[in-house]
A and B are shown apart, each in its own frame.
Chain A
């Protein structure tokens, strides 16, 4: 059996593509390790159009319901793709040694937390070094915590943590936090302290984390900050590792796409969402780009 389209990835981009592809009556298979993507773990999303405030779990449930109501789509979740090959069609192999064939492919694999790669980070992962504030904030009751990164994710983590922790620091590398002003204004708390021009050097502890060392980039002075929890919120890296010999990636390992159509460097392959080199990575834009891709895939299949 040859599918018209195989969508790889089940975040907002992949699920939206599935809905559109099915409505265009394309024989579609969606392969993903889990539905929801990064936004699944967001505690409170306030910029998803149509919802003043919604949790990641709730949003995922709504999009998933919409997706599963479609007739033409097959969903294979809890499945990771291990390889894609170009033959006459595209052959997609999974880690469970299954193989699927399709005329076109949409890469919507998203991204994962970026790591700092400093001493102590790996050693203390799960022992005071965390990446998911939604999951682990309730464990920080009356504790002192540090968030590394002053972008939107860092401020969202601060919101999660201020309900529990006794003190929250945000460490920002540059002169001022990069988070949207509205995200920064949402937090009014004397428990929050923002330290700018901070380059984190090392995380230390014994069995569990006790704190970190950072360099003040103005004075070069090394300072120590004690905390029982360190949340790393320095952005995301695309899940493109296995694609590097398949389509063209940029230096940030993002899939390069034509922004008019979402086509990649390889004919028959499109990409959308966090995995691409688009300038902005948002739920709403990922969805728009995925839909654009499917409409272009539809036109391509009609012509061929």
Chain B
């Protein structure tokens, strides 16, 4: 399960979304500016508060790091 923690204005989140769509990978988006529970969860797992944070089955990536995503998902 992929969780993408984002804000509505974040360009790198947009990049991540487009990348997942391009690769036909399913993901869920959490807008942490509106969803306090998701914000808390993101801070807990990433120990910081910038977006995007990508949680791939418990593996945490801070920022849109394509190489890291490719490695975890074997893309």
Q: Could you tell me which A residues sit within 8 Å of B by CB distance? A: 34, 36, 40-41, 43, 56-57, 78, 125-128, 130, 132, 134-139, 141, 160, 164, 208
CB–CB B33/A134 < 8 A: no
CB–CB A78/B50 < 8 A: no
CB–CB B51/A136 < 8 A: yes
A-B CB contact pairs (8 Å), 15 listed:
A34-B15, A56-B11, A57-B11, A128-B49, A130-B50, A132-B10, A134-B9, A135-B7, A135-B11, A135-B12, A135-B50, A138-B8, A139-B51, A160-B9, A164-B33
Q: How far is the CB of A54 from chain B (nearest CB, A)?
A: 13
Q: Which residues of B contact A135 (CB under 8 A)?
A: 7, 9-13, 50-51
Q: How far is the CB of A281 from chain B (nearest CB, A)?
A: 20
CB–CB B9/A139 < 8 A: no
- Is there a chain A Cβ closer than 8 Å to B67's Cβ? yes
CB–CB A208/B9 < 8 A: no
Q: How far is the CB of A116 from chain B (nearest CB, A)?
A: 17
CB–CB A139/B14 < 8 A: no
- Is there a chain A Cβ closer than 8 Å to B66's Cβ? yes
Q: How far is the CB of A35 from chain B (nearest CB, A)?
A: 10
CB–CB B33/A138 < 8 A: yes
CB–CB A139/B39 < 8 A: yes
Known: A126-B62, A208-B49. A139 touches B7 (CB 8 A): yes
- Is there a chain A Cβ closer than 8 Å to B32's Cβ? yes
For the complex, what is the distance from the CA of A280 to the CA of B17, rounded to whole Å?
Answer: 34
Q: Which residues of A contact B8 (CB under 8 A)?
A: 138
CB–CB B11/A41 < 8 A: yes
Q: How far is the CB of B29 from chain A (nearest CB, A)?
A: 14
Q: How far is the CB of B44 from chain A (nearest CB, A)?
A: 11
1/0 contact trace for B31-68 toward A, CB 8 Å?
01100000100000001111100000000001000110
